[in-house]
Amino acid sequence: MATLWLLLFTIMLDGVVLAAEPDQAPQEILGLEAAPQGPPSPSVGQRPSPAVRQQIHELDRRLSILESLAVGRGHGRGVMERGLGWSPEIKERGFSLYSTDGNNRLHLNGGIQADYHEYPGPHSGADPGTEPNGFVLRRLRPILDFRIATYFRGQIMPDLAPRRRSELFNAFLDWDYYDWARVRVGQFKPVFSVENQQGEFDLVFAERSLVQNFALRRDFGANVTGRIFNRHLRYDLGVFNSNSGAIGSASVPEPSVDSNKLGMTRIMATPFLLNGPRALRQLDLGTGVMFGDCINSPCQQPMLTMGQDRTIFQYQPSVTGNGFHTWVLPQMTWFWKRIGVMSTFVHTWEPKTDKSTGRSATLQNEAWMAQAEFSLTDDEPAFNRVTPKRPFDLSKKGAWGAWTLGARYSEQRIDPQAFGLHFADATQYVQTTKGSSLAVNWYASREFRYQWIWEHSEFQGANQAYAKSRTSDMLIFRFTLIY
Band of residue 9 on the pLDDT scale cut at 50, 70, 90: very low
Domain ranges of the chain: 2-38+52-71, 86-482
Residue 157 has pLDDT above 60, yes or no: yes
Give the tens place of pLDDT for each residue, 432-448.
999 999 999 999 999 99
Residue-wise DSSP of 61-119: HHHHHHHHHHH--TT---SSPP-SSEEE-SSSSSEEEE-TTSS-EEEEEEEEEEEEEE-
Distance between CA atoms of 459 and 275, rounded to whole angstroms?
45
Greatest mean pLDDT among 35-39, 79-83, 159-163, 466-470: 466-470
Percent of the chain with pLDDT strictly greater than 70:
82
Burial class (CB in 10 A: 0-12, 13-18, 19+), 451: buried
45-49, 88-92, 182-186, 280-284: segment of lowest average pLDDT: 88-92
| Arch. (CATH architecture) of 86-482 | Beta Barrel (2.40)
CA neighbor of 113 nearest in space, from 457, 453, 454, 474? 453
Averaged pLDDT for residues 140-162: 91
Please give the pLDDT value at position 425.
95
Would you say 88 and 75 are in contact if contact means Cβ atoms under 8 Å apart? yes
E strand intervals along 149-246: 152-159, 167-178, 181-188, 219-228, 233-240
Q: What is the CA radius of gyration of the chain?
A: 29
Residue length of the chain:
483
Query: pLDDT band at residue 102, thresholds of 50, 70 and 90?
Result: confident
Q: Check pLDDT > 50 for residue 35.
A: no
Confirm if 447 and 93 have CB atoms less than 8 A apart. yes
Report whether 187 contacts 219 (CB < 8 A). yes
Mind listing the pLDDT tens digit for each residue in 118-136? 998 777 777 887 788 899 9
Q: Is the pLDDT of residue 25 over 80?
A: no
pLDDT at 42: 53
Task: Write down the pLDDT at residue 126.
Answer: 75
Q: How confident is the model at residue 285 (pLDDT cuts 50, 70, 90)?
A: very high
Mean model confidence pLDDT for the chain: 84
pLDDT at 20: 39
What pLDDT shows up at residue 378?
95
